[in-house]
Amino acid sequence: EVQLVESGGGLVQPGGSLRLSCAASGFAVSSYDMHWVRQAPGKGLEWVSALGTAGDTYYSGSVKGRFTISREKGKNSFYLQMNSLRAGDTAVYYCAKVFCSNTGCYDALDIWGQGIMVTVSS
Amino acid sequence: QSALTQPRSVSGSPGQSVTISCTGTYSDVGIYNYVSWYQHHPGKAPKLLIYNVSERPSGVPDRFSGSKSGNTASLTISGLQTEDEADYYCCSFADSYTYVFGTGTKVTVL
């Protein structure tokens, strides 16, 4: 079964760091663009970051310079290292896989994790 | 990058059609045909409904359709069903290889 499972969330103080993990099953994360999307309490979805198959990385303006997306060789997972956390980063974080069909890959996300809560508070 | 603008809520009776608009700018919806739509039941993972403005992944009912005109994309749900009650989000590829989601629309089935 194709599946994504997030881990590593929790409560952290402002200015602190947290590393989210997203473990994949049923496919290889190295073969697809992978994304992080978040949803603050009572708010809508917000795109956070993407990791291309070539290791290229992309970030929203609100996290650029503070967050780092990465993969690790030998592990079918990818990560989001979050530094200098702020109250505004409080959200449910989802990892997601780019949608691909037999005609190619597209700018859309078809497999999502269930999400993990990150709370930034003193 | 500002969020794409969607109506906060739309509603309809079972069997009716509803349309959700998604208004962006020339830096996202207006220039790229990479608009996707997602259905999100609270507490669950979002589900992809539409990609490339109007394409449906296999398994998505043809009751869901997408279109675009200028800076505004639209999702139409035809033959509304009770299970369609959820939050809906549009998303567009944007300049500088970023993505922007819409503000979200709550669909209520009366």
Residue B1 has a pLDDT of 79
pLDDT band at A54 (very low <50, low <70, confident <90, very high): very high
Q: What is the 3-state secondary structure (H, E, C) of chain B?
A: CCCEECCCEEEECCCCCEEEEEECCCCCCCCCCCEEEEEECCCCCCEEEEECCCECCCCCCCCEEEEEECCEEEEEECCCCHHHCEEEEEEEEECCCEEEEECCEEEEEC
d(CA B6, CA A86): 27
pLDDT band at B8 (very low <50, low <70, confident <90, very high): very high
Report whether pLDDT(A94) > 90: yes
For the residues A23-34, what does the mean pLDDT come to? Answer: 96
B interface mutation test: which of A107, A112, A114, A116 has the most B CBs within 10 A? A107
**Residues B34-46: tens digit of each pLDDT:** 999 999 998 899 9
Phi-psi region of A31 (alpha: psi -120 to 50; beta: other; left: phi over 0): alpha
Computed from CA positions of residues A45, A110, B35, B19, in that sequence, does the dihedral angle turn out positive or negative? negative
pLDDT band at B95 (very low <50, low <70, confident <90, very high): confident
Spatial neighbors of A14 by CB under 8 A, at least 6 apart, are: A85, A86, A87, A120, A121, A122
pLDDT band at A97 (very low <50, low <70, confident <90, very high): very high
Report the percentage of chain B scoring pLDDT > 90.
95
Average pLDDT, chain A: 97
- B 72-101 residues with CB < 8 A to A: 87, 89, 91, 93, 97-101
DSSP state of A52: -
For the residues A78-104, what does the mean pLDDT come to? Answer: 97
Report whether pLDDT(B96) > 90: no
Cα Dmax for chain A: 49
